[in-house]
Amino acid sequence: MSVNILIADEHTLIRRGIFSMINTLSASAMNGKTLNVIGDTDLPAGLVNLLSHNTVDILFPGFALNTRRSQSPVSGLDGISLVKWLARKFPQIRTVVLSPYRNTNNHGNG
C-alpha cells in the first residue's frame, strides 16, 4: 500500500527538508506501506491544482504560503482560512499544518 503525500510551504528549504525526512522513512520498515511524495508547491493555487489532479492521503501545508492575487479563488488564502477551505473541499485528506507559531492554548501541558 502506498501513502501519497503533498508538501506546501513558502520556504524551499522546509519543503526539501520534509521531502528528505519522508524519503528516509520510506527506506525503513513502514508496516508494508510506501511513502510517496507526489509533489510540492509554495502557492495556494498550485496546492489546489495538485490536490485536484492527484490522490493525496496526507497534506503538509505551511501556515503561510506565497499569496498572489489571480483568477484562482484560493490564490489569496493562507493560514487558517486556507486550512478551513481545504478541509471543506478535500475532507478525506489528513492534514498536518506546519507553523512557526507556538500554540498559546497549552491546556496545562507544559
pLDDT at 71: 65
pLDDT tens digits for range 20-29:
998 887 555 5
What span, in angstroms and rounded, lies between the C-alpha atoms of 89 and 86? 5
> Which residue ranges make up each domain of the chain?
2-95
Question: Domain 2-95 classified CATH 3.40.50.2300?
Answer: yes
Which of 72, 97, 71 is CA-nearest to residue 84?
97
What span, in angstroms and rounded, lies between the C-alpha atoms of 74 and 5? 20
- Amino acid, single-letter form, for residue 42: D
pLDDT tens digits for range 52-97:
999 999 999 887 776 666 666 666 666 778 888 889 999 999 999 8
Q: 5 pLDDT band (50/70/90 cuts)?
A: very high
What span, in angstroms and rounded, lies between the C-alpha atoms of 36 and 57? 10
Q: 108 pLDDT band (50/70/90 cuts)?
A: very low
CA dihedral over 75, 81, 85, 91, signed as positive or negative: positive
Q: Global pTM?
A: 0.80
